[in-house]
Each structure stands twice: as C-alpha cells, then as structure tokens.
Amino acid sequence: MKKLTYLVVLLLSIATYSQQSIANITFHDVPREKMDEFLTLHKKFHDVSISDESTVTGGGIFAHKYAGNYSVATYAFYNSESDLEKDTAAAAAARTAYWNSLSDDEKQVVGPQWGNYNKMAVYNHYDEIRISNENSLFWEAEDLDWSTYKIMVVSKYNVKWGMNQDFNAGLQQNLKNYQDSGIPVAVYSNRHLYGAGYSFNIYIFYDSWSDFAAFEEGDFQPMNETSKKFWASVVDHEDEILVMLGGIDPVTKQINYINQ
C-alpha cells in the first residue's frame, strides 16, 4: 500500500502549522457484520467522487473499539469552510458524471450498490465539523510511519467558562508527558465548530495495543498543582479508542487502506 506520509498533517490537525484547517467528521452506525462491505463501497464511491474540482486535502477512516455509539468514523479535511462547501458540490457532480458514463448493464450493478451504501452510511449517523489553528497541539515522533497499524485515543473535554488558562496549562503538561514517555507517536488537537461534539478534543496515536497499555501503566502518579487545576477546569470528559484503517491520499485524494 502506498505510504500515507502526510496523512495526519492533513488528518486531525493542520496542513501547515500556521494555517487553519477544517475537519468534517461523520460517525456511522454500521453493523459489525457489514463492515467489510461498507469499507469496500465507501472507497468505491469516494474515489469516483474525486475530480479536478475536489478541494479535500486528506482524511482518515477509523474503526471504533471502546466507548461511543458508532462503529466507523470518517474524517475529511479542508483548508476552509468554503472549500468544504465547494467539495460537496464537486463530489455530487463527479458522481453524476460517473453514473452517466456507465452502460445499462453496469448501472444494474452499481445502482443497488449505491443504494446499499447509502443505507449503511446514513442510518443513525451524525456529523461534526471541527477546527484547528496555530494554537492547536501538534507533535509527531521523528520515526512516525503512517503506513502501519495505529491505535488512536480521543480524549474529549468541555471546559468551564473562564478557565481556559488552567486547562491549556494542563494540556501542555500532558503533551510533555507524552513526549517524555517515548511511547505515543503523534498528538494533535482541535476545537468544536458545528454539530454534536465536545468543545476540545485531543488525539493520541500509538503503534500498538501493547504501547498503549505500557503508557497507561506508567501514567499513574500523584497530581501536581497543574494537574489539579486542569481537572478543576473540566466540566465533563470522556475517552474513546479507535483503530486506524486508512486515509485519503493527499495527492490522488483517493482512499488507501492499511494492510493489517
């Protein structure tokens, strides 16, 4: 599989660190027994939606493992809200052109596939748009390799009014702990913009379940004052664990799945 060298720069954070980025996220409630079929059709209909007018810059596809109420999360990334709007129209036009290019026999096959895909994609789904900027957390290990299996932990927070300073100080301390441990391979953050979601998300990536467990086992220590103020600033919080399945190639804009 083609190495997804720039996936996460385009994924949950920013294409260039000083630039704003938009994440369009859809949470799908796909039955586990239909997961393979969904992923196959998702790639097929995503790829035929790409054209010279496409503005998507990258993305990620994740299988949900623990917590939450969905089975698949799909992420698409844009440089601005207007680019997201343009891409929606461009994708619809590309799909129409693809359909019109099919023979009658091909339409007999593709039509039911499209209907089945939409049924799985739309049922019980929900959407969220999030934003990153120069103030977002951004760190990657030097030997980061996006062509291999990854575990992603999403820590979600709502913050009390007027306590962002204490919250941000705690985040910086947590980021240093991740870096000093030598175990996570990437850390990113973004903020809520539209739709359902927490005000602040942090995304921590690990190369394996054993690495994730090793970090958690070594993370138990008494709270210092920064940690206490951090948790005092939080209204509510939850964690989710997902497995990275693949992403949108930033050059071809097509989906590549990781061979696991």
Write out pLDDT tens, residues 140-155.
999 898 888 899 999 9
Write out pLDDT tens, residues 157-182.
999 999 999 999 999 999 999 999 99
Non-local (6+) Cβ contacts of 84 within 8 A are 22, 24, 55, 76, 78, 129
Kindly list the structural domains of the chain, giving each domain's residue range(s) and its CATH number in brackets, ordered by start.
21-129 (3.30.70.100), 137-243 (3.30.70.100)
How far out from the chain centre does Cα 134 lie? 18
Closest CA to 27 of 201, 252, 223, 184: 201
Q: Which amino acid is at 81?
A: E
Residue 67, pLDDT score: 62
Please say if the pLDDT value at position 54 is more than 60: yes
Residue 260, pLDDT score: 54
Write out pLDDT tens, residues 218-260.
766 789 999 999 999 999 999 999 999 999 999 999 999 998 5
Query: How many other C-beta atoms lie within 10 A of the C-beta of residue 63?
Result: 16
Query: How many other C-beta atoms lie within 10 A of the C-beta of residue 119?
Result: 10
